[in-house]
Amino acid sequence: MIHEALKSHWGLRLIRQEPWECLSAFILSSFNNIPRLTGMLERLALCFGNGIEAASRGWRFAGPRPLTYRFPTAQVLAKVSERVLRNCGLGFRAPYLKAAAQRVASGEAPLEEWRKLEDEVLRQKLLTIPGVGQKVVECVMLFGFCRAAAFPVDVWIGRAMRAWYFPKRRVTDAQIREFARRHFGSHCGWAQQYLYCWARRASSRFKDPDL
């Protein structure tokens, strides 16, 4: 199946995010959908981020260039009350984001320094941050720390892997991750992205026995 995914999505790129913004986004992604998550991130940037001029990219503006907003730093969000964060639409995720911001801002979770760590050490460090579980860890490692051996298992990947590689077995997400690292090797994170895109396109072609 991976060969079909590669042919179908040849040239796919991996996003490379700043670790704190990436961590925040995936903490907020819990039990969420993309439009609502996008709204949360935009409101946080608008309320607490620094405004910057939008790049012109060859366009001419009649008046002042429009402002866009950077995602707020951990130092800024650590000082925002949980009530205000909830008012930004974060709901039950607000205390987790605030606690994570406090850990990063205080230096207890120095994300930039963690870039130097080996994969397994980094994985265990990230798991100590409030609101961070195994799926979030793998996502942050892949997209925030560029660790190609990370293999996030979300709903789509779980369905696809169970249908395509374990059609007659019940396996856990942890078993899927372990299989992926053995089967796809040290760049299984790239395989995950191809399989994810293929799964979204071919969702009607497979059935998940757990659905």
Catalytic residue among 79, 116, 135, 207: 135
- Spatial separation of the C-alpha atoms in residues 152 and 139, rounded to whole Å: 5
How do residues 103-122 score in pLDDT, each as one tens digit? 999 999 999 999 999 999 99
What range defines the domain where residue 164 resides? 2-13+151-205
Residues 77 and 139 in one domain: yes
Last residue of some domain: 127, 143, 159?
Answer: 143
Q: Are residues 126 and 183 in the same domain?
A: no
| The pLDDT value given to residue 56 | 44
What would the pLDDT profile of 39-68 be if each residue is shown by its tens digit?
Answer: 999 999 999 998 765 444 454 545 454 457
Map tokens 């130097």 to a residue.
116
Evaluate if residue 18 carries a pLDDT over 80: yes
What domain count does the chain have? 2
Report the alpha-carbon distance of residue 105 to residue 79 in Å, rounded.
10
125 catalytic residue (yes or no): no
User: Is 23 in the same domain as 96?
Assistant: yes
Q: Note whether residue 61 is domain-resident.
A: no
DSSP codes of every residue in 111-175:
HHHHTTS-HHHHHHHHTTSTT--HHHHHHHHHHTS--TT-----HHHHHHHHHHH-TT----HHH
pLDDT > 70? residue 209: no
